[in-house]
Amino acid sequence: MELHYPGKSGILDILNGPKASFPTHFNTEKNALLEGDNLPIMRTLLDSPLRFDLCYIDPPFATGHSFRSSTHRSATISKSNADAVAYNDFVKGAEFIEFIRQRAIVIRELLSDNGSFYLHIDYKIGHYVKVILDEIFGTENFRNDITRIKCNPKNFRRNAYGNIKDMILFYTKSRNFLWNEPTSPLNDAEIFRLFKKIDAHGRRYTTVPVHAPGETQHGPTAQAWKGLYPPKGRHWRTSPDELDQLDNNGFIEWSSTGNPRRIIYADEHQGKKIQDIWDFKDPAHPGYPTEKNLALLRLIINASSNAGSHVLDCFAGSGTTLLASALSGRRWVGIDQSATAIKAIENKLHTCPALTEKPDFQYLKAQ
Ligand SMILES: C[S@@+](CC[C@H](N)C(=O)[O-])C[C@H]1O[C@@H](n2cnc3c(N)ncnc32)[C@H](O)[C@@H]1O
């Protein structure tokens, strides 16, 4: 399936188009803040040894608005009042889709073989972007459409349901992608519901069977343990030797009728799997328009990159991704064409109290 529209260019033309140059040497060993249009800059990066384990982008959403910096109550202004503009979001329709497509094609080339791509977008244009990303990354590499709750419910005046979410499309370059399973801790109600028993030391626990479905005729998990065989149609979860070890270490509870069960302690629980609906509201009074939630970026970065990985945000805005990368010990490259964004990024990196070391990066303006 493909999306057809006028002005859809060939992949080779996109990759081989004009490149950016920099006034001084671009040291790829350092973190980098690059000012200019991301497409020619990323083509230049293709010639470098840099490859990224993660790229997150939060591009314009084809809203038709102009966005201005902090001092005013509303983030949007009319086209005529352009003094405080941080960036314009005037490209719409097929032209917008092609704008995103060209960048996504180059981004895919810049990813490492086990790299990931997250694209933040809204419900109005996001479904067209999904079709385009399926073309570029392949449907087999589409991982999630994450629903992000972006604000508290509002009394929208139009006759429709209130919109409180946007979407984050998550793709990987291949099946073998870098993944650090993120979890969230159980809350008190869940702990009380799932771990009803309390041991002699006051630790909450529950028990689970030591056998699992599926009969095996041979091998250790089919053998007798302490004179017991697994029930019909089941096998021991671990070998009798390992069951002995668990029992010796106090992890088996025996019922009065001699039925063994494995003890699981609440304080050793690894946490819940994170699902695909996220509640990360953006700052109520952003310093930069459409500034994203830092905790959201920290989750993505910790799940889809490792310490020392390179992370790219080529629509960097106020640098939320760059700060989150620095906080998690990742290397980063940020690109933005707005001088206001570059100032906001420098400010964010230099004033964050949680950053224990002074951020070390090179700034280059593309020519
Ligand atoms: C939605 S904002 C990003 C906000 C960011 N995620 C944050 O948390 O602050 C989009 C940014 O993309 C930048 N941008 C738009 N088109 C660009 C282009 N062709 N090249 C580089 N930057 C671009 C804008 O200047 C703007 O700062």
Q: Which residues of 138-149 are buried (b: 16+ CB within 10 A; e: fewer)?
A: eeebebeebbbe
pLDDT of 73 over the 80 cut: no
* Distance in angstroms (rounded) separating the CA atoms of residues 161 and 154: 10
pLDDT of residue 346 exceeding 90, the answer is yes
Q: Running DSSP on this structure, what letter comes out for residue 221?
A: G
Place of tokens 């343990």: 225
Which residues have C-beta atoms less than 6 Å from ligand 1? 37-38, 58-60, 87, 288, 290-292, 315, 317-318, 320, 335-338, 341
Separation of CA 239 from chain center: 38
- Dihedral sign for Cα atoms in the order 216, 217, 223, 228: positive
| Dist CA 228 CA 259 (whole Å) | 9
Of 125, 281, 315, the one to substitute when testing ligand 1's pocket (max ligand atoms within 8 A of C-beta) is: 315
Residues 6+ apart with CB under 8 A from 96: 60, 62, 125
Distance 57 CA to ligand 1 centre (A): 8
Residue nearest to atom 14 of ligand 1 (CA): 315
Q: For a pocket test of ligand 1, which of 318, 336, 342, 347 has the largest count of ligand atoms closer than 8 A to its C-beta?
A: 336
| Top-level class of domain 30-182+274-365 | alpha beta
Alpha carbon nearest to ligand 1 atom 26, residue: 317
The answer to whether the beta carbons of residues 195 and 266 sit under 8 Å apart is yes
- For 18-42, letters b (16+ CB in 10 Å) and e give eebebeeebeeeebbbbbbebbbbb
Instruction: With beta carbons less than 8 A apart as the criterion, state whether 335 and 55 touch.
Output: no
pLDDT digits (tens, 9 = 90+) for 167-220: 999 999 999 999 999 999 999 999 999 999 999 999 999 999 999 998 777 889
- pLDDT tens for each residue of 74-120: 444 344 444 578 898 888 899 999 999 999 999 999 999 999 999 99
Token reading at 93 = 């329709």
CA of 364 to the centre of ligand 1 (A): 17
| Average pLDDT score over the chain | 93
Model confidence, pTM: 0.89
CA separation (Å) from 340 to 98, 221, 289? Answer: 25, 64, 11
Terminal alpha carbon distance of the chain: 38
CB atoms within 10 A of CB 250: 9
What tokens were used for 234?
Answer: 């089941």
Question: Candidates 85, 89, 338: which one to mutate for ligand 1, based on the most atoms within 8 Å of Cβ?
Answer: 338
Tens digits of per-residue pLDDT, 291-316? 999 999 999 999 999 999 999 999 99
- The reported pLDDT for the residue numbered 70 is 64
Q: Which atom of ligand 1 is nearest to the CA of 318?
A: 9
Ligand 1 centre distance from Cα of residue 58 (Å)? 7
Half-sphere exposure of 341 (CA within 13 A, CB side): 29
pLDDT digits (tens, 9 = 90+) for 108-125: 999 999 999 999 999 999
Handedness of CA 139, 141, 143, 147 (dihedral sign): negative
Amino acid of residue 13: D
**Is a pLDDT exceeding 80 seen at residue 266?**
yes
Closest-lying ligand 1 atom to the alpha carbon of residue 317: 27
Q: What pLDDT score was predicted for residue 327?
A: 97
- What are the residue boundaries of the structural domains of the chain, listed by start? 30-182+274-365, 188-268
